[in-house]
Amino acid sequence: MITFKSYRQFLTELSANGIHSVSVSKLTESHDSKRALFIKHDVESKVSLALRAAEIEHELGHSATYYFQGPLLLHDQAADLVRNITNLGHEVTYHYDVLDACGGNFFAAVKEFDRYKSVLEAISGQPIKTVCPHGNPIKSRNGWKSNKDFFRSDMVRQRYPNIADIVVDFGRLLPRGLYISDAGFQLRKIENISGNDTSNEAAISDGTPIDWLDMLRVVSKNQGVVLSIHTHRLRDTELALLMLRARLRILRAGYLALKNTPFLKVFISQFYDLTRYL
């Protein structure tokens, strides 16, 4: 978690060292791009903050990929904001949540995926080339491990042969690369982004912490880096970040206290989608 000012400073430092990020879709187009920096954003709320990040990136010569959760696109003015991000030269695509939303029913999940895929492509004028699954840290599941199971399905692969999942397919797309994420409100190198969904707790705890101040060295010395940032957690001041962290810690402590009680765990799981607003 960082401020917009810190994010601008980070991108400025990259530019000064001749490093300019490219969209994730480049991984599906050219082997020459696999030494690059790929910045991606999971947008789960506050589309206006995503546009602010996109404007900063564009100003400093960077391109990024914005993965939008489907329901966001139905909000007032969301379509205009998404088009503005597209017009700045960024990739706009889908942060899918379909298995969790459909209770593990693959046929219902396909219908929901098609719905938001069509909406996004109509808004952006771009074909969807890559997607990214959402994690849902408090969701209880029976019969599927996570949303990643959607693109592990042969049926789904056959239906969308031209779409890559940046998480499920990471080892194939960037076999010598790093996946770095601010998921869990701390920047970390994720050790097993493709397979760390044995449990919600495993996904949350996966990774080695990395300091933002060390990111230039990490990007410069590695064979391709995907940097994942949740734009709805960017803030203008350190005080606002501290307040956001405090809210998360309170909610996470409450979840940890309740998750070992089966009835209560199932109850709070019904409200899993509320976590996207943090």
Is residue 140 scored above 90 in pLDDT?
A: no
Residue 255 has what pLDDT? Answer: 54
Segment 72-124, tens digit of pLDDT:
998 878 999 999 999 999 999 999 999 999 999 999 999 999 999 999 999 99
Is residue 254 scored above 80 in pLDDT?
A: no
Question: CATH no. for residue 72?
Answer: 3.20.20.370
Domains: count for the chain: 1
Over residues 215-231, mean pLDDT: 91
Domain range for 270 is 4-277
Over residues 34-45, mean pLDDT: 89
Residue 133 has what pLDDT? Answer: 96
Give the least confident one: 26-30, 128-132, 160-164, 263-267.
263-267
Over residues 191-220, mean pLDDT: 81
Is residue 239 scored above 70 in pLDDT?
A: yes
236-244: long-range contacts, CB 8 A cutoff, minimum separation 24:
236/3, 236/4, 236/5, 237/3, 238/3, 240/3, 241/1, 241/2, 241/3, 244/1, 244/185, 244/278
Residue 163 has what pLDDT? Answer: 97
Name the token pair of 248. Answer: 């998360």
Amino acid at 249: R
Query: Binning pLDDT at 50, 70 and 90, where does residue 250 land?
Result: low
Over residues 176-185, mean pLDDT: 88
Q: What count of other Cβ atoms lies within 10 Å of the Cβ of residue 127?
A: 12
Determine the 3-state secondary structure of 61 from DSSP. Answer: coil
Instruction: Return mean pLDDT, the chain.
Output: 86
Is residue 275 scored above 70 in pLDDT?
A: no
Question: Is the model more confident about 216 or about 258?
Answer: 216
Residue 229 has what pLDDT? Answer: 95
Give the least confident one: 56-65, 66-75, 130-139.
130-139
Is residue 64 scored above 70 in pLDDT?
A: yes
Give the least confident one: 13-17, 136-140, 159-163.
136-140
Residue 191 has what pLDDT? Answer: 86
Over residues 259-270, mean pLDDT: 54
Write out the E strands in the chain: 37-43, 65-68, 91-96, 130-133, 164-165, 178-181, 188-190, 208-209, 225-229
